[in-house]
Amino acid sequence: MIGPFEANGSAHTTKKVSVVFVLGGPGSGKGTQCANIVEHFGYTHLSAGDLLRAEIKSGSENGTMIQNMIKEGKIVPSEVTIKLLQRAIEENGNDKFLIDGFPRNEENRAAFEAVTGIEPEFVLFFDCSEEEMERRLLCRNQGREDDNIETIRKRFKVYMESSLPVIEYYNAKGKVKKIDAARPVGEVFEAVKAVFTPPSDKVKAASWSFKWND
């Protein structure tokens, strides 16, 4: 179900959008696959973390508040992140969005649906073992201070405790598309493509294949 959402917390807009939540642990390859989906299927990629960082960089009053909360080790309220996502959706000319790394927990999920009136079309879940994610994070060289074994394991624990209830909630509604993210990047994207290809296109492809073989 896709509904209208409120602009600036009051006036409703009738813009209809299709939203896909992209979830997976640190090192599951979400970013790489989101870039592929954008290129092949025309979605706009929204990262909650990137939006928060951009707001801080803008020097706005809101950005300063976010920065201070992060400095003090406080969790940025769901409403703040949701308003940034909402604004990004409203200001973009596209009508299909990948929301990456959000909702992080059940409270995020409930608040997003309550504030925006939007339910995701589905949740793309990159399923990957802790061992494989750990190996990838330790191998990659992005100069991230948090890519050490102890911090990686803490991040994984937080992800498991907070994100899995969200996945379970949507799974009960039949909205989770699980991808085996432990495979090579190309194979993972083949599985992703199968999720995003409309059934009519799959039928056409099968029909052409049949004629060719004939």
> How many residues in the chain?
214
Give the phi and the psi of residue 174 in degrees, each rounded to 5: 70, 25
Q: Is 102 annotated as a binding residue?
A: yes
Q: Is 140 annotated as a binding residue?
A: yes
Q: Is 179 annotated as a binding residue?
A: no
Q: How far apart are CA 8 and CA 66, in angstroms?
A: 18
Q: Is 53 annotated as a binding residue?
A: yes
Q: Which two tokens stand for residue 146?
A: 């948090």
Q: Which residue has the tokens 């909205």?
A: 175
* Residue among 12, 18, 80, 91 at smallest CA distance from 52: 80
Q: Is 31 annotated as a binding residue?
A: yes
Q: Which residue has the tokens 């608040």?
A: 111
Q: Is 108 annotated as a binding residue?
A: yes
Q: Is 186 annotated as a binding residue?
A: no
Q: Is 59 annotated as a binding residue?
A: no
Q: Is 87 annotated as a binding residue?
A: no
Q: Is 75 annotated as a binding residue?
A: yes
Q: How far apart are CA 52 and CA 61, in angstroms?
A: 13
Say which amino acid occupies 174: G
Q: Is 27 annotated as a binding residue?
A: yes
Q: Which residue has the tokens 């308003």?
A: 83
Give SS3 for 100.
strand
Q: Is 29 annotated as a binding residue?
A: yes
Say which amino acid occupies 40: H
Q: Is 156 annotated as a binding residue?
A: no
Is the Cβ–Cβ distance between 115 and 79 less than 8 Å? Answer: yes
Q: Is 162 annotated as a binding residue?
A: no
Q: Is 155 annotated as a binding residue?
A: yes
Ramachandran area for residue 174 (φ above 0: left; ψ -120 to 50: alpha; else beta)? left
Bind-site residues for a ribonucleoside 5'-phosphate: 53, 74-76, 101-104, 144, 155
Annotation: binding site: 27-32, 53, 74-76, 101-104, 108, 140, 144, 155, 183
Binding site membership for ATP: which residues? 27-32, 140, 183
List binding-site positions for CMP: 108
